[in-house]
Structure 1
């Protein structure tokens, strides 16, 4: 491209000696006879435009000396230095912690993160969020939507971008990375069994979540290895309120000697319900959680739980994606091994 030595004259009647207003994306759109969305697509390298439309926009940008820094670099290098993250509800500790870890790892590698949050789990919402990220010229995608529905929807789309799916456990998924949920559930269950507990209830997460399914599987597998058949698996919704309601149900019948809860928030609700009913933790009922949220060490009593290494998961997600983009990288395991953190909410039976 050639760059003129003096700026174009302003048609807005600026006073002599005043610098002309810099052109913006709407000026380019008017000059090219297209919408500003089309200009945005040209800037971001979208491939769905006709060549003549793209050239008309580029000519208008040249004439108006339109030079947004990031767009200019993208046009020259075809690299936006942006990673797209497609995620579901970020209010939960696991997804929000993973997202924060991805942003930190991406920043260390010189990348920005553009996050699109799904408004629902239907295919239309998935398509809309995915299209927005593609329109922003992301170089690769990290799918942080650990519901079985959203992972199944990936099969309906032809995504021609490097991609990583978080918490996918399908053997056919070449892009999947996760914390080993089954191993974590087995650690929690084994800890209770080694303390002498046999009547162990499991409070699962909501149906449709990969983590819920995998932690149930780990619980059942470890119990079976000890010759035991689980008799009580109840379903919560990740919240402390659901843990409290389930705790009330348990104390209304024959309370178990121990509970493995699928996350720490539900453990908090359990502790509340048990204490309210006059049951002591861990003297009467032992509890193990999952996640190791920052407050877990300050529960009353401090919570025994399974720690997921979210910073390491985020680092591996970004490293795996950048390797697909050509960055030098060493081969690393696709699963992060969790760790049992023993505190004061468990005791021998």
Structure 2
């Protein structure tokens, strides 16, 4: 009587197991997995059927040793509790998976030369083929400028002069759009609550706001500063409420979370929005259309940022693009809602 061979359930099926089940050689299974054209359709079907029946999964480590490709990309991220960075990270991971790559992410609390260097070493030891690095502010930009990159690197998050390829949303354009909208609604000036001073995106929004006022012949009021949080917006809103009736009729807030705090502070002070003060934000977080009133804001296409960043990085890895200062800039879009109704004459 023929003795049945029972495979231990603790051992995953190997390529040799698949070959025995399909009645073909190990090399034939390898050719099927590699998409080799010189395999008969009937044989290919038998191998694929055996793979499905046995639940075979290709050993990625062995494949990496054979091909010198890990199909893994690295991401160095920061401030991922904020809407923009979190949305960008999700978009990067989604775009990488669509291209058949895994993502290894290192999240940094602080972006310094030391932390960046440690993150790059960690990703290099993990065998990544390239890295997308968040560069939201001057410390991150300075860190990247000082470090050598053992693999292609693409930055996201801000415009810079590093000579490193990158993708960013045009923050100045977004600020010009929203400031111009408030001026066109009849407001004689627009106040601004800016983001943290060490964030390049915050600086770019200030620059766009200021340039729009100057082009209209309006002197820019001194900007206030927050830390992106609703609490900092609330505290700034308390200060802004004191200027109502003294020239303040419109406020451009550098992100929607701070705008939420501003709206509450104004409401508590008896200031109506938009009847007394129009308020506009930046980012178009999912909750912004449910604020009271619904918030006018600037929408950033984070899905496009993620997709274009991954495409650019893979082009560098495959040699389809040079490592020069390639810069992809994505345009934002103004979303007008009830918080910025036209100012009464």
Per the TM superposition, whether the score is higher than 0.5 is: yes
Aligned-pair CA distance for 1:254: 4.2
Separation (CA, whole Å) in 1 of partners of 2:175 and 2:310: 26
> Do residues 225 (structure 1) and 215 (structure 2) align?
yes
Separation (CA, whole Å) in 1 of partners of 2:158 and 2:253: 21
Separation (CA, whole Å) in 2 of partners of 1:302 and 1:140: 41
Q: What's the C-alpha RMSD, in Å, of the aligned pairs?
A: 2.2
What does residue 333 of structure 2 align with? 339
What does residue 323 of structure 1 align with? 315
The one of 264, 270, 273 aligned to 1:272: 264
Name the count of aligned residue pairs.
287
What does residue 39 of structure 1 align with? none
Instruction: Mark the CA change 1:174 to 1:123 in structure 2 (over 3 Å): closer, same or farther.
Output: closer
Decide whether the 8 Å contact of 1:200 with 1:232 is kept in 2.
no
Aligned-pair CA distance for 1:82: 0.7
Moved over 6 A (4+): none
Separation (CA, whole Å) in 1 of partners of 2:251 and 2:83: 21
The one of 94, 115, 123 aligned to 2:113: 123
Separation (CA, whole Å) in 2 of partners of 1:253 and 1:310: 35
Q: Which moved more, 1:297-306 or 1:249-258?
A: 249-258
Separation (CA, whole Å) in 2 of partners of 1:309 and 1:154: 25
The one of 297, 301, 317 aligned to 2:289: 297
Secondary structure in structure 1 of the residue aligned to 2:306: helix
Instruction: Mark the CA change 1:253 to 1:227 in structure 2 (over 3 Å): closer, same or farther.
Output: closer
> Do residues 195 (structure 1) and 185 (structure 2) align?
yes
Aligned-pair CA distance for 1:118: 1.1
What does residue 252 of structure 2 align with? 260
Unpaired segments ≥5 residues, structure 2: 1-5, 12-57
TM-score if structure 2 supplies the norm length? 0.79
The one of 215, 226, 234 aligned to 1:244: 234
Decide whether the 8 Å contact of 2:145 with 2:162 is kept in 1.
no
Instruction: Mark the CA change 1:126 to 1:333 in structure 2 (over 3 Å): closer, same or farther.
Output: closer
What does residue 32 of structure 1 align with? none
Secondary structure in structure 2 of the residue aligned to 1:334: strand
> Do residues 214 (structure 1) and 204 (structure 2) align?
yes
Decide whether the 8 Å contact of 1:292 with 1:308 is kept in 2.
yes
Render the CA deviation track for 1:187-223: whole Å, top value 9, x for unaligned. 0100001011123110000111111010001001111
Q: Which moved more, 1:219-228 or 1:251-260?
A: 251-260
Separation (CA, whole Å) in 2 of partners of 1:122 and 1:187: 33
Separation (CA, whole Å) in 1 of partners of 2:132 and 2:267: 42
Decide whether the 8 Å contact of 2:113 with 2:144 is kept in 1.
no
Separation (CA, whole Å) in 2 of partners of 1:327 and 1:287: 47
Unpaired segments ≥5 residues, structure 1: 1-16, 23-67
Secondary structure in structure 1 of the residue aligned to 2:76: strand
> Do residues 142 (structure 1) and 142 (structure 2) align?
no
> Do residues 80 (structure 1) and 70 (structure 2) align?
yes
Secondary structure in structure 2 of the residue aligned to 1:216: helix
Aligned-pair CA distance for 1:129: 1.6
> Do residues 89 (structure 1) and 79 (structure 2) align?
yes
Aligned-pair CA distance for 1:168: 3.2
Aligned-pair CA distance for 1:263: 0.2
Aligned-pair CA distance for 1:172: 4.5
Secondary structure in structure 2 of the residue aligned to 1:306: strand
Aligned-pair CA distance for 1:152: 0.9
What does residue 56 of structure 1 align with? none
TM-score if structure 1 supplies the norm length? 0.78
Aligned-pair CA distance for 1:238: 0.3
Separation (CA, whole Å) in 2 of partners of 1:307 and 1:262: 12
Aligned-pair CA distance for 1:325: 1.6
Aligned-pair CA distance for 1:164: 0.7
What does residue 173 of structure 1 align with? 163
